[in-house]
C-alpha cells in the first residue's frame, strides 16, 4: 500500500510529516511525502514557519503522482492560501480517499493555518475530503462558530459536511471525566464512539489518529471500523508517549511484531501476482502465520475476513488477527504437530493445471479423500484436522502441498505450507 502524506516538517519528529513516516512505516505502508512548509519547533517552543514556494510544491506533486500508484492521501498542515489553491488544483481530479486533518494550531501554540487562509481552506480543501478530522476547536473555527460557542457537535459537523467533506469526525470530545469520544457524521447517519481518556498533553496524537484512520479506511472502506482502529492505535501511542525533549512527551507508535510484518509483506506480494484472481476459490483465501509451538488457532495470525476476488483484482477484506482464521489455521496446527518448523500456509483454488505444475516441481504433494471421512467425524470433529493427518500418512515425507477433491457440497482445495510466509509465497510463484 502506498499513502501520500502532505503536510509540514516538524524537526522534533513528534508531529507532521515525520510523525506520518513513523506511523505508516509501523503499518507496513510505503509513505510518500510532500512538504508544504518547514517549521522550527521542539517540545517546549514553536519557532518559525517557512512555507515552500508554489513552484516546488507543484513539482513535488507532479513527480509523485506521475510515478506511484497512490492508494490514499492524508493532508495535514497547509498554512496559506497559495498552498491551499495549488493543492486543490492538483488533487481535485484524484479519485482516491483523501483524509484532511485540519490543523490550525500546535499544542505549543504555533500557527499551522493562517487566519487569512481559513476561507480558502473551507472553499478548496474541505471539498477534497473523503473524511475530515477536526478536534473541537478546529470544528468550531471551520464552521464559523465562535471558538467557545455551545452549538451542538452534530450541528457543527453538518455545517462542515455542507462545505463538501463527505464524512466528518469531530475528535477528542470530553464526554465524561474518564471518557473521550468522537462524533462521526457519515452521509446519512451520525453516532458517537467513546474510549478511555489518558490524562496527558502530548505531541503527535492527532497525526497518529488521522494516519491510522486512512490506513484502515483504505483497507476496509468502512468508517466505523476505521475510527475504532484509529482510536485504539492512538490510545496505544499516547500510552507509550515518551518525554524525549525537555517539554511535552512525544507519542510513540508500537512497532509491529515480526510475525505481523512478515505475513503482511507476503500478503501484499501475493495480491499483486499477475492474474492471481484465477487462483482464489469460491470460499476465498486465507494466509496464516503461526507463533512457534502453537497450542491453538489463537496462536496463529490470519485474516479476520479473507483475501477476496473483486473482478480481476484481489483485495484483502479484514484485518490480521490472532485467531482470525479457522480453516487454514487448523491445517497449520495439524501440520505443526508433525513437523514443528511448518508455521505458515495459504489455501488456493483446486485446478488440475495447478496440480500438474506441482507434480513437475520438486515439491512434495499429498492428498486426502473427504469421502473416506466417517460420518461421526464430519459432524462432531474437525474435517480439516482429520484430512491433514490423513495426507501426512499418505506421504513418505512431510508434504509442501496438500489437496482434496471435495465432497458433496464441499469445494475441492489446495493448501500450500511452509516454514514462513515468504517460503509459502516462493512455492506459490512456482505453480501459478
Ligand atoms: O499535529 C499537528 C501538526 C501537524 N503538522 C505539523 C505540526 C503539528 C503540530 O505541531 O507541527 C508540522
Q: Which of 46, 103, 203, 250 to mutate to test the pocket of ligand 1 (most atoms within 8 A of CB)?
A: 103
pTM for the model:
0.73
C-alpha gyration radius of the chain: 25
**Angle, helix 205-220 to helix 16-26, in steps of 10 degrees:** 40
Distance 167 CA to ligand 1 centre (A): 22
10 lines ligand 1 (CB under 6 A): yes
pLDDT at 423: 97
Please give the span between the terminal C-alpha atoms of the chain, in angstroms, as a whole number: 23
Flag whether pLDDT at 411 surpasses 80.
yes
Q: Is 103 in the pocket of ligand 1 (CB under 6 A)?
A: yes
- Identify the pLDDT of residue 226: 92
- Taking only the tens place, the pLDDT of each residue in 47-84 is 999 999 999 999 999 999 999 999 999 999 999 999 99
Q: Which residue minimizes the CA distance to atom 9 of ligand 1?
A: 106
Q: What pLDDT does residue 180 have?
A: 87
Task: Give the model's pLDDT for residue 377.
Answer: 86
Backbone angles phi, psi at 172, to 5 degrees: 65, 40
pLDDT of residue 113: 97
From the CA of 113, how far away is ligand 1's center (Å)?
Answer: 10
Ligand 1 lined by 102 (C-beta under 6 Å): no
Minimum-distance ligand 1 atom for the alpha carbon of 207:
1
- Provide the pLDDT confidence category of residue 11 given band limits of 50, 70 and 90: very high
Per the prediction, the chain carries an average pLDDT of 94
Find all residues with CB under 8 Å of 352, minimum gap 6, and list them.
Answer: none
User: What per-residue confidence (pLDDT) applies to 317?
Assistant: 85
d(CA 282, CA 284): 5
What average pLDDT does this structure show over 248-275?
Answer: 89
Mean pLDDT across 299-320: 90
Q: Report in angstroms the alpha-carbon separations of 222 from 76, 213, 321.
A: 22, 10, 18
247 lines ligand 1 (CB under 6 A): no
8-state DSSP, 280: -
In angstroms, what is the span from residue 178 Cα to ligand 1's centroid?
Answer: 26
Q: Has residue 178 got a pLDDT over 90?
A: no
**pLDDT tens track for 206-247:** 999 999 999 999 988 899 989 988 998 998 899 899 999 999
106 CA distance to ligand 1 middle (Å): 6
User: pLDDT of 352-408, one tens digit each?
Assistant: 999 999 999 989 999 999 889 888 888 888 889 999 999 999 999 999 999 999 988
Cα distance between residue 397 and residue 393, in whole Å: 9
Q: What is the pLDDT of residue 23?
A: 96
The count of C-alpha atoms lying within 13 angstroms of the C-alpha of 272, restricted to the half-sphere facing its C-beta, is: 8
**Does any ligand 1 atom lie closer than 6 A to the CB of residue 76?**
yes
Cβ of residue 207 lying under 6 Å from some atom of ligand 1: yes
Q: Exposure pattern of 154-188 as b/e (b: 16+ CB <10 Å)? A: eebbebbbebebbbbbbbbbeeeeeebbbbbbeee
Identify the bridge partners of residue 402 per DSSP, sorted by sequence position: 366, 415
Q: Is the pLDDT of residue 308 over 80?
A: yes
Burial of 146 (0-12, 13-18, 19+ CB in 10 A): exposed
Structural domains in the chain?
A: 2-256 (3.40.1190.20), 266-431 (3.40.225.10)
How does residue 257 score in pLDDT terms, banded at 50, 70 and 90?
confident
Residue nearest to atom 6 of ligand 1 (CA): 16
Taken as a whole, the chain contains a residue count of 432
Report how far ligand 1's centroid is from the alpha carbon of 250 (Å).
12
Q: 195-204 pLDDT, tens per residue? A: 888 877 889 9
Alpha carbon dihedral 266, 267, 272, 278, in 10-degree steps, equals: 120
Identify whether the C-beta of residue 287 lies closer than 8 Å to the C-beta of residue 263.
yes
Amino acid at each position: 500500500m502506498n499513502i501520500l502524506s502532505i503536510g509540514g516538517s516538524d524537526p522534533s519528529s513528534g508531529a507532521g510529516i515525520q510523525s506520518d513516516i513513523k506511523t505508516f512505516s509501523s503499518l507496513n505502508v510505503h509513505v510518500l511525502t510532500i512538504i508544504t512548509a518547514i517549521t522550527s519547533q521542539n517540545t517546549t517552543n514553536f519557532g518559525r514557519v517557512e512555507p515552500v514556494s508554489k513552484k516546488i510544491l507543484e513539482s513535488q506533486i507532479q513527480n509523485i503522482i506521475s510515478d506511484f500508484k497512490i492508494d490514499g492521501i492524508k493532508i495535514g498542515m497547509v498554512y496559506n492560501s497559495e498552498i491551499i489553491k495549488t493543492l486543490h488544483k492538483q488533487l481535485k481530479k484524484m479519485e482516491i480517499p483523501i483524509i484532511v486533518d485540519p490543523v490550525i494550531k500546535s499544542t505549543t501554540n504555533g500557527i499551522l493555518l493562517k487566519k487569512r487562509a481559513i476561507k480558502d481552506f473551507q472553499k478548496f480543501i474541505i471539498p477534497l475530503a473523503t473524511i475530515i478530522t477536526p478536534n473541537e476547536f478546529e470544528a468550531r473555527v471551520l464552521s464559523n462558530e465562535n471558538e467557545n460557542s455551545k452549538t451542538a457537535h452534530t450541528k457543527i459537523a453538518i455545517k462542515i459536511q455542507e462545505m463538501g467533506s463527505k464524512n466528518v469526525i469531530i475528535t477528542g470530545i470530553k464526554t465524561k471525566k474518564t471518557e473521550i469520544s468522537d462524533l462521526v457524521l457519515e452521509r446519512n447517519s451520525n453516532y458517537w464512539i467513546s474510549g478511555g481518556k489518558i490524562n496527558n498533553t502530548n505531541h503527535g496524537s492527532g497525526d497518529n489518529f488521522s494516519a491510522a484512520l486512512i490506513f484502515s479506511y483504505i483497507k476496509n472502506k468502512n468508517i466505523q471500523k476505521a475510527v475504532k482502529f484509529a482510536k485504539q492505535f492512538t490510545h496505544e501511542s499516547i500510552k507509550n508517549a515518551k518525554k524525549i525533549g525537555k517539554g511535552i512527551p512525544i507519542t510513540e507508535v508500537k512497532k509491529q511484531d515480526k510475525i505481523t510484518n512478515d505475513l503482511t509483506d507476503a500478503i501484499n506480494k501475493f495480491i499483486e501476482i499477475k492474474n492471481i484472481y484465477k487462483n482464489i476459490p469460491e470460499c476465498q483465501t486465507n494466509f496464516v502465520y503461526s507463533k512457534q509451538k502453537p497450542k491453538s488457532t489463537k496462536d496463529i495470525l490470519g485474516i479476520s475476513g479473507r483475501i477476496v476476488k473483486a473482478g480481476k483484482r484481489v483485495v484483502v477484506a479484514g484485518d490480521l488477527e490472532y485467531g482470525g482464521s479457522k480453516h487454514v489455521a487448523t491445517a497449520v496446527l495439524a501440520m505443526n504437530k508433525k513437523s514443528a518448523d511448518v508455521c505458515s500456509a495459504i489455501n488456493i483454488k483446486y485446478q488440475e493445471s495447478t496440480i500438474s505444475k506441482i507434480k513437475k516441481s520438486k515439491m512434495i504433494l499429498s492428498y486426502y479423500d473427504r469421502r473416506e471421512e466417517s460420518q461421526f467425524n464430519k459432524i462432531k470433529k474437525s474435517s480439516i484436522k482429520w484430512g491433514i493427518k490423513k495426507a501426512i500418512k499418505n506421504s513418505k515425507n512431510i508434504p509442501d502441498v496438500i489437496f482434496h477433491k471435495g465432497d458433496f457440497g464441499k469445494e475441492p482445495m489446495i493448501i500450500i505450507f511452509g516454514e514462513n510466509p515468504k517460503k509459502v509465497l516462493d512455492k506459490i510463484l512456482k505453480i501459478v
